[in-house]
């Protein structure tokens, strides 16, 4: 039984907090809702989540944690008990959360040592409708991780969190390359890519629609933000994509129109990534080659099996 309801936020540790903060609140379009001694909590204007990105000043670049929601505190307790009995390393037992919005949650390490948080009863944030032509994020859409053991990582999230595979990307020479996983009826809230080491592959932010997505892409291009890949439309998930690098080398995506599935009838597809129409149905993006792909390999995550201090 799946007890995870949705993706909440991604927390990043960065050596230059000021530079990252200026980028995320300026170019990327997030709003700071709270801050405290080198930590900033950034919300998407269209999302009821208290925040979708947390930035923390640190000596080492790392993913501090990935946070998911649960429906009730009882579900949090049930999941923590299940994981503990299965031998998953618990970082913090269920209890009160002190970050914005409060709530009740716990943390654990996944199979490769990333910190994951699951919480319930977090207060909803007063948010607003994003207006026509407003090219800022509505919500955090999904998080994709690089994994040196992608089969093991996918198996971990399927077994312990009851995520389901929506689609898989493969390449004739390189084998299976990416697994798209869902925790609700969105095509994916989470995905795992085959990579040289554990790291963040990218974090994706949903915009209001095609026009806002294109306006946001153009705004970043005009500002000189480095584009990696796009604009285009993927086949798996049917969502649009424009990938950019933040100042610390993390890949971020603007997207829209991610597919919603009938979970009772959906069957995963195996898509051949060497077919240009799989990576980009429109044919408008720059070609995906080894140099483009390497941009999203990112640095080795320095936070594996080391719980963040906050």
What tokens were used for 87?
């031998």
Give the Cα separation of 159 and 263 in Å (integer).
17
Note the pLDDT of residue 100: 97
Q: What is the dihedral of CA 245, 232, 145, 62, to 10 degrees?
A: 10
Three-state SS sequence of 95-125: EECCCCCCCEEEEEECCCCCEEEEEECCCCC
Query: Quick one: which of 149, 152, 194 has its CA closest to 173?
Result: 194
- 310 residues of the chain, pLDDT tens digit each: 999 999 999 999 999 999 999 999 999 999 999 999 899 999 999 999 999 999 999 999 999 999 999 999 999 999 999 999 999 999 999 999 999 999 999 999 999 999 999 999 999 999 999 999 999 999 999 999 999 999 999 999 999 999 999 999 999 988 999 999 999 999 999 999 999 999 999 999 999 999 999 999 999 999 999 999 999 999 999 999 999 999 999 999 999 999 999 999 999 999 998 999 999 999 999 999 889 999 999 999 999 999 999 9
pLDDT, position 185: 98
Q: Which domains does the chain have, with CATH numbers?
A: 4-120 (3.10.180.10), 139-295 (3.10.180.10)
- Please tell me the predicted confidence (pLDDT) of residue 14: 96
pLDDT at 233: 98
Res 32: pLDDT: 98
What is residue 174's predicted lDDT score, i.e. its pLDDT? 86
* 52/31 Cα distance (integer angstroms): 10
């Amino acid at each position: 039984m799946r007890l995870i309801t949705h993706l909440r936020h991604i927390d990043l540790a960065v050596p230059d907090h000021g530079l990252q903060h200026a980028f995320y609140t300026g170019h990327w379009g997030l709003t700071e809702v709270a801050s405290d001694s080198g930590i900033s909590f950034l919300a998407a204007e269209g999302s009821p989540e208290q925040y979708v990105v947390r930035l923390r000043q640190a000596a080492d670049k790392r993913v501090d944690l990935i946070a998911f929601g649960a429906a009730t505190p009882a579900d949090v307790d049930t999941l923590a008990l299940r994981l503990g009995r299965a031998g998953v390393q618990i970082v913090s037992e269920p209890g009160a959360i002190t970050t914005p919005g409060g709530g009740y949650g716990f943390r654990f390490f996944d199979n490769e040592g990333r910190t994951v948080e699951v919480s319930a009863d977090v207060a909803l944030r007063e948010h607003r409708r994003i207006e026509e032509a407003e090219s800022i994020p509505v919500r955090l859409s999904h998080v994709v991780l690089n994994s040196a053991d992608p089969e093991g990582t996918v198996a971990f999230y399927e077994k312990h969190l009851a995520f389901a595979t929506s689609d898989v990307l493969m390449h004739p020479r390189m084998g299976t390359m990416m697994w798209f996983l869902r925790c609700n009826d969105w095509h994916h809230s989470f995905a795992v890519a085959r990579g040289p080491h554990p790291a963040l592959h990218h974090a994706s932010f949903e915009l209001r629609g095609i026009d806002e997505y294109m306006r946001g892409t153009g705004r970043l291009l005009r500002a000189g933000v480095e584009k990696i890949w796009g604009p285009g439309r993927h086949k798996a998930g049917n969502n649009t994509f424009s990938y950019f690098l933040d100042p610390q080398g993390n890949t971020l995506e603007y997207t829209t129109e991610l597919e919603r599935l009938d979970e009772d009838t959906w069957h995963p597809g195996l898509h051949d990534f060497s077919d240009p129409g799989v990576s980009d149905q429109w044919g408008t993006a720059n070609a995906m080659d080894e140099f483009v792909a390497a941009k999203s390999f990112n640095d080795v995550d320095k936070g594996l099996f080391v719980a963040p201090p906050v």
